[in-house]
Copies of this chain bind each other. A is one copy, B any other.
Amino acid sequence: MKTVELTNGSKKKVEDRIVGRHVYGNLYGVDPAKLWDEEGLKELVREAAEVANMKLVEVRSWKFTGYHGGVSVMALVLESHITIHTWPDYEYATVDVYTCGERSDPWRAFELIVERLEPEDYVVHYSDRSSPKRPLGGTAGRIQ
């Protein structure tokens, strides 16, 4: 946190950057029944947001039938997202957990999803999505 002076002369504490953390992975050898379970996957995303201390805004899901089909769940969390895409015929799913703020922990959400989907194998990656430090000089006046 930093204290900045606004254009009207008052002072306000602001975070000096946005902390963004993105954990994503590919899950192999998952039971197709779990990957077709649209409601189960949606509930799993809700639980994952909770354990990771993410503020859930909305969860949506879609099911695509056919041999090439599967389920997609997308959740908007403040201001980032969780997504799961599945291809049951390939026993395959991809998972993205992207959190915003220091109080959220994307690893806990990712681990819960892996624990529940029980893949035979998986890979996981991490990417820092943080903003640069806030350009206080140029934009402090925009703070409302």
Contact = CB atoms under 8 A, between A and B. Distances in A.
Contacts of A83: 81
A26 B70 CA distance: 29
Interface in A9-63: 12, 14-15, 17-18, 20, 22, 24, 26, 28, 32, 57-58, 60, 62
Given A24-B127, A60-B76, A125-B127, 18 more contacts: A17-B90, A18-B90, A20-B26, A57-B62, A58-B62, A64-B79, A67-B144, A72-B76, A72-B80, A72-B81, A74-B76, A74-B81, A88-B142, A89-B134, A89-B139, A89-B143, A91-B139, A94-B129
Given A58-B60, A127-B125, A79 B90 contact: no
A15 B68 contact: yes
A66 to B, nearest CB: 7
A78 to B, nearest CB: 7
Interface string A126-144: 0101011011000100111
Nearest to A90: B131
A136 B20 CA distance: 39
A17 to B, nearest CB: 7
A43 B49 CA distance: 28
